[in-house]
Structures are given as C-alpha cells and as structure tokens.
Amino acid sequence: MLLAIDMGNTQTAMGLFDGDELVQSWRMPTDRSYTADEIHVRLMGFFKMYGLSLDAVDAIAFAGVVPQLSREWHAVADRIAADAIVIGPQTAAVTKLRAARPQAVGADRVANAVAAETFYGAPAIVVDFGTATNIDVIDEDGYYIGGAIAPGIRISMDALAARAAKLASVPLEAPEHAIGRDTEECIKVGAVMGAAAMAEGLVTRMKRELGREDATVIATGGLAGIVADSTDAFDVVDGQLTIKGICEIYRRMQELG
C-alpha cells in the first residue's frame, strides 16, 4: 500500500491507498518539532484506530514544504522498510509544468495539477483553501501554467484578532446573510464570503485569460467545504484532491520504472 503525505505549513494530510483506492485518510498538525519517533507513534495510533497495520505500507510519497520534517518522515520510511519518493525534481518526468521557474512550484500545486487533469480533465482551475489560498491553473494540454497565492482564511482571521483587541476569535462557518447582523456574523461574512468572492473574481479573470469559460473549477483543502457553501463558483469540491494527485504521480513513477 502507498501512504501519500501532503505536508502543509499548518496541517499534514495523509491518505492510505490500495492501488487507486483511497482506503483511509487522516490529518494531523504540522509541528516542526516532531521527531521520527513522534511521527512513528502517531502513525501507529492512526492505523490502530481503524484496524490497519503499518506493516502493509510499502511506499511513502511526500509533497511537503517543511524540509526538516521531510527528513524525519524519511527516517520513518526507513524504519518500516518503505520506499520513499518526494514530489519535485525526482518526479519531473511524469508531471507537466509550463512555469518560468518549474523548480520553484510547490509540490502540493504540482499534485493538484496532476489530479485535476487526471480525474476532471483539462483545462481546470484548482482553488486550494489551506494556510494560504492557492489557485492553480491547468491549460487545455494539461500543463500547470501558474495561478495565484493569497493569505489563507485562518491567517486573515488570526491577524484580525491579533490587531483588533475587541474582536475575539470566531468559529469558521458559512454565514446565512451577506449583511452581518452582529460582530461575530460580520467577521464570518468577511472571512468566508470574502474568500468566496475573491475566488469568484480571480476564477472569472483566469477563465477569460485562458479563453476557456468551460474550465472545470475544483475546490480543495481543509476549508473548501465551508467556502463552497457561500458560492456556486466551484464545479467540484474534492477535499482529497492533493493526496490523490500524489498517488497518481507515484503510480506514474512506478510505470516509468
């Protein structure tokens, strides 16, 4: 089985695949202080929770932005005798990038582009709501060509709470109205509907630049479901898109030999 790892700045998403089938998925905090021992113990706990065996994992594929944690994950892979690959230069032969600096494109964005083309067709636009809100554009030939990066919803809310003492932290929920009736609802409107409106505006402009109004728009990331409740800009909501892309890249690497 393959364990696909999407290591973001805030959370690490994991997916266990048996072939192309996603057997189970988990999330845990991305803590830069974690050692291989701590990661190993957490993994054993997740697997035990669902009656799975860590011994069944024969490969681990990473898409990550935290180099020191990548080293710890590699140590875990060695312990369980699993092959390990990292999305990036090692996998460039099976991915398609038309970027000014391909080596600088985030591994998660590469995985999103591969998954979008594979499962939903091209052209496509992926809006990934994570620590940052990433928008990835895939042209009609299936190549990642660029996109946009904006502060994520939680970053914006944390900054607001830190700078405005009277505005306490508010739970992230889709508001019922565009006009907030009290302070808490006003913050939800600004955060959630604001993120939805930004996505709508950028997606509209990107479709125009592509010359393809029919480009499939896919929302992913931990907050995609909440934002999707406030907009009809998305054709698909797929919270597992990135780990599915990691799995697809691993499959292509196996075929490449």
State the catalytic residues: 108
18 is in an annotated binding site: no
Q: Known binder of ligand: residue 83?
A: no
Residue type, 90: Q
Output the CA–CA distances (angstroms, integers) from residue 48 to 92, 170, 207, 218, in the order listed. Answer: 35, 34, 45, 33
CB 72 within 8 A of CB 34: yes
Q: Whole-angstrom Cα distance, residue 113 to residue 160? A: 32
11-18 and 21-29 strand pairing? antiparallel
Residue 11 assigned to a binding site: yes
Q: Is 240 annotated as a binding residue?
A: no
Asked if residue 106 belongs to a known ligand binding site, the reply is yes
Q: At what angle do helices 67-79 and 36-49 cross, to 10 degrees?
A: 60
Indicate the helix (H) or strand (E) that contains 222: none
Task: Report which DSSP code applies to 41.
Answer: H
Residue 238 annotated as lining a ligand binding site: no
Q: Is residue 157 helix, strand or coil?
A: helix
Residue 58 marked in a binding site: no
* 108 labeled part of a ligand binding site: yes
- Name the strands in the sheet holding 132-138, side by side, starting at the edge strand that comes first in the sequence: 144-151, 132-138, 124-129, 216-220, 236-237
**Is 93 annotated among the ligand-binding residues?**
no
CA distance 249 to 238: 18
Residue 216 assigned ligand-binding role: no
56 is an annotated ligand-binding site residue:
no
Nearest-angstrom CA–CA distance, 96 and 98:
7
> Which residues are known binding-site members for K(+)?
128
Annotated binding residues for ATP, written as ranges, equal 6-13, 131
Q: Would you list which residues are annotated within the binding site? A: 6-13, 106-109, 128, 131, 183
